[in-house]
């Protein structure tokens, strides 16, 4: 790990905001004593939440911890689909809206808990009929339509781990993830709407499926109603399969430690990591955080604007909201189509109470101007949330003033694909917030800012954000690669190093400053620079490439790629566009570099290691650090001249 620098330069934030009295009066949690209670006996704390769920067989032991491997609720048997659906339809939530969906063109669907329960049961029977058994992996490559959560819950019902792949990813990205998980069945759609265009999803799915021998069957949802190629004996229409499917499927009794899903996240080696989440601990973690952080009330409509293809969507669009029995809103498309007020139009239309979005989106809203949200009645909002990356204080203030009308607490949450659940966040009925700070670890979570040897650093000093003990929704392994999982814990045995830099101020507030490795955060999406480099080098014009993140006022970070050309190729705007398109083809459009700089060589150490620190300085156009360790220090001046500074 690199030594952390520059963290000391963070602005000191003096503004603080106390939870409004009217919010506190109705808040689920108002006693700060819960932090101490959870610290004294964290296992009992988590067990209390677990007891609010339904188990087929109770656990014998809350936690079994053999670093770096944990088991939670050992011996317990349960089913997540049962907890998200069956236990609600047995009571007054039966006819309550579980999912409200809005498509880009304005088409809508509402599924009550009973309707969702019936659809999930039917699709679970479809999966069984197609030969999917407990333990088989199912790849899901769907846009933001109701069939996506239905498919996930149906997989969970029969004990088939799902692997959801973001629908904007390329066929190659889908292929890599499907090959790694050895998925037996693929679920996709004929297409979807995004920003006024029709995305042709089925063709990308076909390309990937053709290269994955493990895929036996493909189920296709009719979203657009366009003609698509259908391979006889392999491809089936969702609606035709559902027509005669029985309306009840007995839920599989899953061990607490049985795998629920694999979700691929970028890794620094270039190969995506299949993060494995299991059943019992994950459900307890998302249930507890959903209930307390978002202060869920029975009448709430909750809207998390993430894509379900990311962990935020898994935990806080599907499993968390449905576990607590709230109404979860799903929107198919982008925030600014057809106009920049689409989100605010939806908030007003459905009287959204809790709105959870990314700082990238908030920065885009600030750029579009206050007139767009001001056109709409946002008075239904009572709580705002932020997720995906650190939020800068000015964006926080805009969110507070313009969207929250200075009356909605903001829960700025920190967590990861690997953590499964929010780990650091305000509790809105208790916490005095500071713009830009995620505030404090959730009760029962022990986080610390440490040096590379795991020792806590003094307040105000930069360090590594570490989690000092296990938490229920933690990843259990990297699929097929336990050694890669162990790396999270081997810096200091028994301590989870998050890969993020952070500091704690004099009041104990946590300030996250971003990644310290080569995974960068573009518009809330974690991307491996190594994957981008690999995609660039696939083009015959590129001999070598290095990608780094640089600050971007809208996206948080943007990619700059330094490229060495092969003999016979010349720099041109057309080649820049070709290379950007190549990255989009291999990974997806979100990974396109904002800037491509052609260079004669890259700054390297004498052993041949690329000095990314120097490339980051160059990308940011700032003064360089020490260049004496470079094999050829003169190369830095050559690159600077090319960049015109």
> Which range has highest mean pLDDT (9-13, 122-126, 597-601)?
122-126
Per-residue pLDDT band at 321 (split at 50, 70, 90): very high
Query: For strand 327-331 and strand 301-304, is the pairing parallel, antiparallel, or unpaired?
Result: parallel
Measure the CA–CA gap between 171 and 376, rounded to whole angstroms.
39
pLDDT at 390: 82
Q: Under a CB-based contact definition with an 8 Å cutoff, are residues 303 and 352 in contact?
A: yes
Asked whether the predicted pLDDT for residue 266 surpasses 90, the reply is no
Measure the CA–CA gap between 642 and 155, rounded to whole angstroms.
53
Q: What is the pTM of this model?
A: 0.85
Residues 218 and 269 in one domain: yes
Query: For strand 217-221 and strand 197-199, is the pairing parallel, antiparallel, or unpaired?
Result: unpaired
Q: Under a CB-based contact definition with an 8 Å cutoff, are residues 325 and 88 in contact?
A: yes
Tokens describing residue 269: 């080696």
Average confidence score pLDDT of the chain: 92
Closest to 212 in 3D by CA, of 308, 137, 314, 130? 137
Q: Under a CB-based contact definition with an 8 Å cutoff, are residues 408 and 379 in contact?
A: no
- Among 234-238, 526-530, 537-541, 554-558, name the one with the lowest average pLDDT: 526-530
| CA torsion angle 196 198 199 202 (round to 10) | 160
Measure the CA–CA gap between 348 and 300, rounded to whole angstroms.
14
For the chain, helix (H) and strand (E) counts, in that order, are: 22, 30
**Helix-helix angle 171-181:573-586, to 10 degrees:** 30
Q: Write out the H or E segment, with its range, that includes residue 189.
A: strand 185-189
Greater pLDDT, 524 or 215: 215
For 368-380, how does the pLDDT look when each residue is reduced to its tens digit (9 = 90+)? 889 999 999 999 9
Measure the CA–CA gap between 312 and 297, rounded to whole angstroms.
20
pLDDT, average across residues 33-49: 98
SS (H, E, C) 213-264: CCCCEEEEECCCCCCCCCCCCCEEEHHHHHHCCCCCCCCCCEECCCEEEEEE
Residue with tokens 């021998």: 213
| Domain range for 431 | 7-497
**Among 497, 529, 554, which residue terminates a domain?**
497
Residues 478 and 527 in one domain: no
Number of domains in the chain: 2
pLDDT at 9: 33
Residues 441 and 525 in one domain: no
Residues 491 and 534 in one domain: no
Q: Under a CB-based contact definition with an 8 Å cutoff, are residues 251 and 438 in contact?
A: no
- Among 35-49, 269-283, 617-631, name the one with the lowest average pLDDT: 617-631
Closest to 384 in 3D by CA, of 416, 349, 411? 411
Residues 524 and 617 in one domain: yes
Question: Phi first, then psi: what are they for 559, rounded to 5°?
Answer: -95, 135
- Is residue 510 included in any domain, yes or no? no
Greater pLDDT, 536 or 476: 476
The secondary structure of residue 540, as a DSSP letter, is T
Cα distances from 442 to residues 438, 439, 578, in angstroms, run 10, 9, 46
Residues 530 and 470 in one domain: no
Residues 39 and 178 in one domain: yes
Greater pLDDT, 439 or 452: 439
Q: Under a CB-based contact definition with an 8 Å cutoff, are residues 568 and 548 in contact?
A: no
- Is residue 1 included in any domain, yes or no? no
pLDDT, average across residues 536-550: 88
Asked whether the predicted pLDDT for residue 346 surpasses 90, the reply is yes
Beta bridge partner(s), residue 370: none
pLDDT, average across residues 499-517: 86
pLDDT at 2: 44
Query: For strand 138-140 and strand 162-164, is the pairing parallel, antiparallel, or unpaired?
Result: parallel
Asked whether the predicted pLDDT for residue 136 surpasses 60, the reply is yes
Closest to 464 in 3D by CA, of 472, 476, 456? 456
Measure the CA–CA gap between 148 and 317, rounded to whole angstroms.
11
Asked whether the predicted pLDDT for residue 151 surpasses 70, the reply is yes
pLDDT at 267: 52
Per-residue pLDDT band at 518 (split at 50, 70, 90): low
Measure the CA–CA gap between 256 and 237, rounded to whole angstroms.
33
pLDDT at 627: 65
Residues 231 and 351 in one domain: yes
Measure the CA–CA gap between 366 and 372, rounded to whole angstroms.
10
Residues 115 and 212 in one domain: yes
Asked whether the predicted pLDDT for residue 551 surpasses 80, the reply is yes
pLDDT at 72: 98
CA-atom Rg of the chain in angstroms? 24
pLDDT at 323: 98
Measure the CA–CA gap between 406 and 351, rounded to whole angstroms.
18
pLDDT at 5: 42
Residues 461 and 553 in one domain: no
pLDDT at 394: 81
Greater pLDDT, 356 or 6: 356
CATH code, domain with 412: 3.40.50.12780
- Is residue 505 included in any domain, yes or no? no
Asked whether the predicted pLDDT for residue 629 surpasses 80, the reply is no
Closest to 411 in 3D by CA, of 306, 320, 293? 293
pLDDT at 302: 98
CA of residue 249 relative to chain centroid, distance: 30
**Among 497, 531, 550, which residue terminates a domain?**
497
Residues 456 and 559 in one domain: no
Q: Under a CB-based contact definition with an 8 Å cutoff, are residues 141 and 188 in contact?
A: yes
pLDDT at 1: 44
The secondary structure of residue 591, as a DSSP letter, is G
- Is residue 319 included in any domain, yes or no? yes
Asked whether the predicted pLDDT for residue 606 surpasses 60, the reply is no
pLDDT, average across residues 568-592: 91
- Is residue 525 included in any domain, yes or no? yes
- Is residue 514 included in any domain, yes or no? no
- Is residue 99 included in any domain, yes or no? yes
Q: In sequence order, which ranges of 468-606 are alpha helices (DSSP H)?
A: 482-486, 529-537, 573-586
Per-residue pLDDT band at 490 (split at 50, 70, 90): very high
CATH code, domain with 528: 3.30.300.30
Q: Under a CB-based contact definition with an 8 Å cutoff, are residues 320 and 422 in contact?
A: no
Asked whether the predicted pLDDT for residue 162 surpasses 90, the reply is yes
Per-residue pLDDT band at 429 (split at 50, 70, 90): very high
SS3 of 292, please? helix
Tokens describing residue 295: 């202060």
Measure the CA–CA gap between 213 and 211, rounded to whole angstroms.
6
The proportion of the chain whose per-residue pLDDT surpasses 70, expressed as a percent, equals: 94
Per-residue pLDDT band at 625 (split at 50, 70, 90): low
Measure the CA–CA gap between 259 and 148, rounded to whole angstroms.
19
Cβ neighbors of 50 (< 8 A, separation 6 or more) are 59, 62, 73, 76, 280, 284
Measure the CA–CA gap between 525 and 387, rounded to whole angstroms.
11
**Among 431, 465, 497, which residue terminates a domain?**
497
Residues 149 and 204 in one domain: yes
pLDDT, average across residues 508-530: 74
pLDDT at 613: 80
pLDDT at 77: 98
SS (H, E, C) 60-118: CEEEEEECCEEEEEECCEECHHHHHHHHHHCCHHHHCEEEEEECCCCCEEEEEHHHHHH
For 77-122, how does the pLDDT look when each residue is reduced to its tens digit (9 = 90+)? 999 999 999 999 999 999 999 999 999 999 999 999 999 999 999 9
Closest to 240 in 3D by CA, of 332, 123, 131, 162? 123
Asked whether the predicted pLDDT for residue 134 surpasses 70, the reply is yes
Q: Under a CB-based contact definition with an 8 Å cutoff, are residues 363 and 335 in contact?
A: no
Asked whether the predicted pLDDT for residue 365 surpasses 70, the reply is yes
Per-residue pLDDT band at 169 (split at 50, 70, 90): confident
Task: Tell whether the torsion through CA atoms of 275, 281, 282 and 285 is positive or negative.
Answer: negative
- Is residue 507 included in any domain, yes or no? no
């Amino acid at each position: 790990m690199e030594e952390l620098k520059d963290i000391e330069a963070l602005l000191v934030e003096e503004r603080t905001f106390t939870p409004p009295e009217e919010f506190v009066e109705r808040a689920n949690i108002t006693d700060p004593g819960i932090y101490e209670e959870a610290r004294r006996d964290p296992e009992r704390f988590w067990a209390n939440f677990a007891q609010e769920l339904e188990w087929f067989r109770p656990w014998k032991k809350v936690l079994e911890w053999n670093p770096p491997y944990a088991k939670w609720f050992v011996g317990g048997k349960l089913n997540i689909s049962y907890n998200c659906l069956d236990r609600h339809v047995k009571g007054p939530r039966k006819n309550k809206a579980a999912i409200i969906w809005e498509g880009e063109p304005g088409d809508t669907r509402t599924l009550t808990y009973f309707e969702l329960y019936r659809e999930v049961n039917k699709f679970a029977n479809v999966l069984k009929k197609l030969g999917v058994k407990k333990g088989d992996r199912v790849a899901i490559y769907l846009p933001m339509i109701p069939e996506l959560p239905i498919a996930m819950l149906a997989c969970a019902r029969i004990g088939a781990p799902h692997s959801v792949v973001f629908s904007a990813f390329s066929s190659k990205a889908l292929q890599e993830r499907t090959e790694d998980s050895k998925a037996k069945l693929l679920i996709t759609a004929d297409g979807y709407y995004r920003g006024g265009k029709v995305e042709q999803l089925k063709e990308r799915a076909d390309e990937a499926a053709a290269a994955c021998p493990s895929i036996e069957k493909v189920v296709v949802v009719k979203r657009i109603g366009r003609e698509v190629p259908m391979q006889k004996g392999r491809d089936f229409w969702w609606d035709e399969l559902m027509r005669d499917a029985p309306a009840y499927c007995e839920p599989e009794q899953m061990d607490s430690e049985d795998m629920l899903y694999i979700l691929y996240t970028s890794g620094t080696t270039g190969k995506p990591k299949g993060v494995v989440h299991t059943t019992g601990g994950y459900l307890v973690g998302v249930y507890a955080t959903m209930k307390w952080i978002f202060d869920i009330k029975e009448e709430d409509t909750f809207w998390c604007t993430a894509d379900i293809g990311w962990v935020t969507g898994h935990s806080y669009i599907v499993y968390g909201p449905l576990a607590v029995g709230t109404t979860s809103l799903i929107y198919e498309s982008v925030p600014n189509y057809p106009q920049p007020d689409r989100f605010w139009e939806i908030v007003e239309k459905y009287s959204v109470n809790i709105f959870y979005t990314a700082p990238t989106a908030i920065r885009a809203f600030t750029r579009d101007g206050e007139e767009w949200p001001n056109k709409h009645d946002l008075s239904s909002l009572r709580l705002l949330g932020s997720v995906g990356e650190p939020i800068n204080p000015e964006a926080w203030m805009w969110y507070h003033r313009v969207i929250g009308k200075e009356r909605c607490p903001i829960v700025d949450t920190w967590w990861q694909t690997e953590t499964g659940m929010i780990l650091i966040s305000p509790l809105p009925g208790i916490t005095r917030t500071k713009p830009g700070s995620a505030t404090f670890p959730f009760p029962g979570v022990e986080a610390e800012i440490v040096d590379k040897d795991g020792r806590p650093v003094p307040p105000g000093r930069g360090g590594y954000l570490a989690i000092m003990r296990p938490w229920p929704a933690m990843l259990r392994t990297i699929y097929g690669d336990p050694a890669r999982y162990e790396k999270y814990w081997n810096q200091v045995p028994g301590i989870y190093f998050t890969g993020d830099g952070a500091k704690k101020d004099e009041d104990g507030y946590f300030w996250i400053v971003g990644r310290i490795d080569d995974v960068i955060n573009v518009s809330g999406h974690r991307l491996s620079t190594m994957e981008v480099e690999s995609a660039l080098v696939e083009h015959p014009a590129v001999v070598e490439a290095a990608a780094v993140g640089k600050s971007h006022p809208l996206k948080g970070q943007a990619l700059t790629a330094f490229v060495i050309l092969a003999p016979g190729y010349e720099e041109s705007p057309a080649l820049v566009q070709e290379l950007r398109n190549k990255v989009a083809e291999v990974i997806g459009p979100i990974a396109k570099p904002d800037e491509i700089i052609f260079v004669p060589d890259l700054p390297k150490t004498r052993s041949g290691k690329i000095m990314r620190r120097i490339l980051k300085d160059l990308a940011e156009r700032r003064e360089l650090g020490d260049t004496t360790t470079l094999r050829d220090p003169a190369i830095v001046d050559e690159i600077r001249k090319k960049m015109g500074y």
